[in-house]
Chains A and B, each alone.
Chain A
Amino acid sequence: MSHGKNQAELVREISGTNPLKCMKCGKCSATCPAFNEMDIKPHQFVSYVVNNNVEELVKSESLWKCLSCFACVERCPRDVKPGKIIDAARQLVVRERGGNYLTADEIPELLDEEMPQQLLVSAYRRYKR
């Protein structure tokens, strides 16, 4: 799924963050409520992008475990915003599937009775820009 721009660059562009600012303090992982569900931990997102290994990041469980609560974004002392990085990686997948964003009409039929409210809220937060 790589054409034209290199994926790491795309992630940087979409997320608007500079992973090189990371000082590897781990506060993102320390603060993450979904940490235990993740295979790749928030503080690792950065190195996957830096090392141009977005492919694996995209295949990871973490991609769909992140709640977009943005605690890491809030707390990151270096303005690296791991939450935005993983969100950008998700974007790559969404775009790859041909869409960009869901339209408002599409949402109702996708709604699941058992879907937790929290997910809806986080989804809105994730996609509002």
Chain B
Amino acid sequence: MQRIGVFVCHCGSNIAATVDVKKVVEVIAAEPGVVHAEDYQYMCSEAGQEKIAIAVKEKKLTGIVVCSCSPRMHEATFRKAAERAGINPYMVEIANIREHVSWIHKDITEATEKAVILARAAVAKVNLNTPLTPGESRVTKRALVIGGGIAGIQTALDIADAGYEVDIVEKTPSIGGRMSQIDKTFPTLDCSACILTPKMVEAAAHEKITIYTYSEVEKVSGFVGDFTVDIRKKARYVDADKCTGCGACQEKCPSKKTPSEFNRALNTRTAIYTPFAQAIPNVPVIDTEACIKFKTGKCGLCQKICAAGAVDYTQKDEIVTEKYGAIVVATGFDTISLDKYDEYAYNQSPDVITSLELERVMNAAGPTHGHLERLSDGKAPKEIVFIQCVGSRCSDDRGKPYCSKICCMYTAKHAMLIRDKYPDVNVTVFYIDVRTPGKNFDEFYRRAVEQYGVNYVKGQVGKVIPQPNGKLLVQGSDLLDNKQILKEADMVVLATAIEPNKDVRKIATMLTASIDTNNFLTEAHAKLRPVESPTAGIFLSGVVQGPKDIPETVSQAGAAAVKVVGLLAKDKLLTNPCTAKADELLCNGCSSCANVCPYGAISYEDTLVNDHGIRETRRIAIVNSALCQGCGACTVACPSGAMDLQGFSNRQILSEVDAICR
């Protein structure tokens, strides 16, 4: 039995005006376990807290009930007061007699009665409280960034600049990501490569950053502060230490028919290749699917030509195991498949392209060397139609229900660039809404219309029909004129919806990070914790969390870095002691609890138990208190009651129920 002290606060007249505080003290003093009860004007004041300290000392209290305002207001205050007085902070319970009593009830008898009942419930609970101590876990001062696009690079740079080691894992042969494919950026129209490549170089050169390209995360275990990750370094068949990046191998390679991933398959590449000229590292990889040597055993030209002797056909995949304190997911996006959008004739005509493909067409390093031309016949287009919201804001299963956010702006950019460079080309944009929130965004769009004469049509395109003459007949509606428009275009550009990278679901599973139905990772709080995953130690950077443009991505990447740095700066983590705990004598090892745990905090171990003389090895649930956030989902999933939540135990809650219902 505890020795409980009850402290009833007047809160000036906030409580005392509607609750007979003296009466509460009198009634509660007679409760079993209560050895001290008093009231005071303001319990949260220094003098009030002092009263608690004195009572703890004089009455040898082991538990404290404060009848006051909401625990959300002052629970922490009174816990600290208890700790200073020498008792465990978790031996404190609050009876909320202000927000839940005095402020909502007018009748004093009724309010007093309710205050007594709430106090009784708190007393009943404290009777079953046990001292709890926050756990500690160590922090490995190294971060992992998954994805080497602008989001990943920026996060890594910011973390590294703060003085912590960072590893970047990038799936493709080079870092750079989508931004490296983009020609110009809105709303300033500066060259994407010009602002990205210095960052890539900086990352590669940074002494705190290690880059694993052509690599994938294979396995993740552990928890916040102490993750262990296996990284698979895929065989490049080129020794990075020897390669000078001269490019001779690529020139000689006879296998030249593979569609270039970097150029969105608008042209081809060789079997041994670097995705683009500024690739980092500037070390080619061999695509074994395309390589004649790997397919037939004959060839070996690249090896012969390589003066550095870097080509090594015997290279094997390598697994690197590394420990991290925090993990940032920055896996980015891709455009959706247009296979279900037959009406836009994307698969029928090479002159119907996506906006990302247009970026490559417009880029000097792209398949047309930056000349705007039709991919079917190389002719310069005279009439270009842009179609917005292709697959975005779509409630059927062909597209995505969300707005892809970046399309309005890049379409304005494309339209403007074309009109600027080729004033004789007519540009028509079919739109549903033009969305331009952002600094200088709407001004940018208006310039496209006002200064560059881009023809914006409010309406959607119903179908694109390739004509025998090579033209594309675009049938759309102009809702403002209430007309149907038929337009012969030379080129159609689709603002295709973006979606998270296909691999993200696999990664989310490995990280036990929650993911929504659209495959975006869920943030811990939509407003207040937008760069953290609900899973402790996992952070989100870039489009993996939701559609974003470059400036937003960069700022979020920085924010994620700050969160990581904040975590790595700690030597030890204090963990919330109100975590779940399994009673090993009751546990069945059935996995029900692990199935409902949102944090992957529960694992199973074969444990030797001594059950009243019976010794046997049993599969027992083990809760990792560093991961557990204390929601209690597991406690209800557990049929035997083995799983219980410290601080909100089954017996504690039942005792509150009993106290209220008596």
Q: Which residues of A contact B (CB under 8 A)?
A: 21, 23-32, 35-36, 41, 43-44, 71, 75-79
Which residue from chain A places its CB closest to the CB of B457 in the assembled complex?
A: A26
| 27 A/B residue pairs, CB under 8 Å, sorted by A | A21-B395, A23-B393, A25-B432, A25-B459, A26-B459, A26-B460, A26-B477, A27-B460, A27-B462, A27-B477, A28-B462, A29-B462, A30-B459, A30-B460, A30-B462, A30-B463, A30-B477, A30-B484, A32-B462, A35-B484, A41-B477, A41-B482, A43-B477, A77-B393, A77-B394, A78-B393, A79-B395
Which residue of chain A lies nearest to B476 when distances are taken between CB atoms in the complex? A30
Measured between alpha carbons, how far is A110 from B569 in the docked complex, in Å? 85
Instruction: Evaluate whether A24 and B395 lie within 8 angstroms (CB atoms) in the complex, with A29-B479, A31-B343, A31-B463 already known.
Output: no
Residue of A nearest to B482 (CB): A41
Whether the Cβ atoms of B389 and A25 lie closer than 8 Å is yes
Q: Across the interface, which residues of B come within 8 angstroms of A24, CB to CB?
A: 432, 479
Q: Which 10 A-B pairs have the closest CB atoms?
A: A31-B462, A30-B462, A27-B460, A29-B477, A77-B394, A26-B459, A30-B477, A26-B477, A25-B432, A35-B484
B78-108 interface with A by 8 A CB criterion: none
Q: Does B208 touch A at the CB level, under 8 Å?
A: no
Contacts of A44 in B (CB 8 A): 482
Asked if A26 and B475 sit within 8 Å, CB to CB, the answer is: no
Number of inter-chain CB pairs below 8 Å: 68
| CA of A44 to CA of B480, assembled, Å | 12
Knowing A35-B484, A77-B393, the reply to whether A27 touches B461 (Cβ < 8 A) is yes
**Distance of B389 from chain A, by nearest CB (Å):** 7
Q: Report the Cα distance A79→B398, complex, angstroms.
A: 11
Q: How far is the CA of A77 from the CA of B432 in the complex (A)?
A: 12
Is B484 touching A29 in the complex (CB atoms < 8 A)? yes
> With an 8 A cutoff between CB atoms, is B3 at the interface?
no
Q: Is the CB of A71 within 8 A of B462?
A: yes
Measured between C-beta atoms, what is the minimum distance from A48 to chain B in Å?
Answer: 14
Q: Is the CB of A32 within 8 A of B343?
A: no
Q: What is the number of residues of chain B that contact chain A, defined by CB distance less than 8 Å?
A: 22
Interface SS of A by simple majority: helix
- CB pair B475–A30 under 8 Å, yes or no, is yes
Is B399 interfacial (CB 8 A cutoff)?
yes
A79 and B399 alpha carbons, distance in the complex (Å):
12
Which residues of B does A touch, CB under 8 Å? Answer: 343, 389, 393-396, 398-399, 432, 458-463, 475-479, 482, 484
Distance of A21 Cα from B389 Cα, bound (Å): 16
Is B394 a contact partner of A75 (Cβ separation < 8 A)? no
> Are the C-beta atoms of B343 and A75 separated by less than 8 Å?
yes
Minimum distance in angstroms from A60 CB to a CB of chain B: 14
- A30, A36, A44: most-surrounded residue (chain B CB, <10 A): A30
Most B Cβ at <10 Å: residue of A41, A75, A76 = A75
A50 to chain B, nearest CB (A): 15
The interface residues of chain B lying within 8 Å CB-to-CB of A32 are: 462, 484
A21 to B401, CA, bound (A): 12
**A41 nearest CB neighbor, chain B only:** B482
Residues of A contacting B432 in the complex (Cβ-Cβ under 8 angstroms): 23-26
Q: How far is the CA of A71 from the CA of B479 in the complex (A)?
A: 18
Whole-angstrom distance between the Cβ of B497 and the nearest chain A Cβ: 10
CB distance A77 to B462 under 8 Å? no
Q: Whole-angstrom distance from the CB of A67 to the nearest CB of chain B?
A: 14
B458 to chain A: which residues have CB within 8 Å?
26
Q: Is the CB of A77 within 8 A of B479?
A: no
Task: Provide the bound-state CA to CA distance between A11 and B479, in Å.
Answer: 23
Q: Which residues of B contact A35 (CB under 8 A)?
A: 477, 484
A23 CA / B458 CA spacing, docked (Å): 12
**A19 nearest CB across to chain B (Å):** 13
- Give CA–CA (A29, B486) in the complex, Å: 12
| Minimum Cβ distance to chain A for residue B15 (Å) | 48
With a cutoff of 8 Å between Cβ atoms, the chain A residues found around residue B475 in the complex are 30-31
In the bound complex, residues from chain A placing their C-beta under 8 Å from that of B482 are: 41, 44
Residue of A nearest to B389 (CB): A25
In the bound complex, how far is the Cα of B37 from the Cα of A56, in angstroms? Answer: 76
Chain A positions within 8 Å of B395 at CB level: 21, 77-79
A26 pairs with B479, CB closer than 8 A: yes
**Complex formed: what's the CA distance from A43 to B476 in Å?**
12
| B479 neighbours in A (Cβ, 8 Å) | 24, 26, 29, 43
Q: How far is the CB of A23 from chain B (nearest CB, A)?
A: 6
Q: Once the chains are docked, how many angstroms separate the CA of A71 from the CA of B462?
A: 9
Residues of B within 8 A of A43 (CB): 477, 479
Bound: A30/B486 CA distance, A: 9
Chain B residues closer than 8 Å to A23, beta-carbon distance: 393, 432
